[in-house]
Amino acid sequence: MVPLVDLHAQHAALGDELRAALDRVIRTSSFILGDELDAFEVEAREYFGVPHAIGLASGTDALHLALRALGIGEGDEVILPSFTFVATATAVHLAGATPVFADIDPTTFHLDPVSAGEAITERTRALLPVHLYGQPVALQPLRELAQSHGLRVIEDACQAHGARDGERRIGTLTDAGCFSFYPSKNLGCLGDGGLLLTRDAELADRVRRLRHHGQLGKHDHQTVGFTARLDGLQAAFLRAKLPHLDAWNERRRQLAERYTRALADLPLVLPHPTADHVYHLYVVRSGDRDALADHLRAAEIQTGIHYPQPVHRTEAFAGYGGGTDYPQSDAAAREVLSLPMFPELSESQQATVISAVRGFFG
């Protein structure tokens, strides 16, 4: 069997470092807001090249608290792509604001600046683009749109750890960059975790307060807050993993190039190649997607669909759809198929996938 993702391989290779991290946390009891979290935040700041990095309990919390700390809430609208993981929209809802969907660019699967522009109203406060599948969004058109309407921009970078836009890392290019450390992400912890990056010191203070019962100093409750800190134990695990992130991403890129070379002549749409893609997922498009997935399953190859429903089609968010159609999002949901992709995927496993995909097309 070739899995879509294999977490076991990575954790077996890092076993000693992860056990040392666990021992350290047991020894020091730095479970909540302790030395391990402080040290991870310093290391994350250095890695991402940004003045403020704040460890949070999940990627959803990072998005949610970013919105709250920017003062976005009830009566405000936030524009996001309808084709994303549901949590992008959940965060807007949790902040008390209204998620307003826009369509995607069919080549990149990213928030389409034209569709986003059409969705702007007097209540719009922010744009929330998603670096989907690990491919950096071209932010300039969205920044211009935001500037001309006085909007904030928040990056959902939950699938793009370590990706770059020129010299700078994704997640450092807007008001706030939000990451998830869900285990299967490019940088994952051994449970749930998240991170918010910003250059704005006041925003950083507000997020630090919000993640910890609304307090910065002890018994100094200025706002109502949450319990949304990254655990010390997860921070310790992440400190062991962060130094490997660039090498893992490089390996993902090599695997992606190999897929692309081997599948280029087939009637499939392959990922739009960009130098800085970190391939959280390797996603192909086919009009015959379900039959292709069945064929691969019969060959014991696991695939995934990210995502079978655009968010405005889900029952949970149907109330926010407003009866609008997002044809590119609907088409993507019908056609996308994720092939096995993780840094430890072996060449022989990948060759099995390639020959099975080629076999489907005869």
Ligand X SMILES: *Cc1c(COP(=O)(O)O)cnc(C)c1O
Using CB under 6 A, list all residues that contact ligand X. 58-60, 84-85, 87-88, 130, 156, 158-159, 180, 182, 192, 194
Strands 124-127 and 152-156: parallel
Sequence-distant (6+) residues with CB within 8 A of 43 are: 239, 242
Sequence-distant (6+) residues with CB within 8 A of 16 are: none
Indicate the residue whose CB is closest to ligand X: 59
Nearer to ligand X, 342 or 360 (CB): 342
Q: How far is the CB of 228 from ligand X (least distance, A)?
A: 11
Phi, psi of 113 (to 5 degrees): -60, -30
Q: How far is the CB of 194 from ligand X (least distance, A)?
A: 5
Nearer to ligand X, 78 or 357 (CB): 78
Q: How far is the CB of 23 from ligand X (least distance, A)?
A: 26
Percent of residues in the chain assigned helix, strand, coil, to nearest 5: 45, 15, 40
Sequence-distant (6+) residues with CB within 8 A of 332 are: 83, 104, 106, 109, 285, 310
Nearer to ligand X, 52 or 64 (CB): 64
Q: How far is the CB of 171 from ligand X (least distance, A)?
A: 12
Q: How far is the CB of 318 from ligand X (least distance, A)?
A: 20
H/E/C letters for each residue in 71-94? CCCCCCEEEEECCCCCHHHHHHHH
Nearer to ligand X, 59 or 343 (CB): 59
| Alpha-carbon gap, residue 313 to 335, rounded angstroms | 16
Integer angstrom CA distances of residue 194 from 67, 73, 158, 212, 220: 15, 21, 8, 14, 25
Nearer to ligand X, 90 or 254 (CB): 90
Nearer to ligand X, 64 or 208 (CB): 64
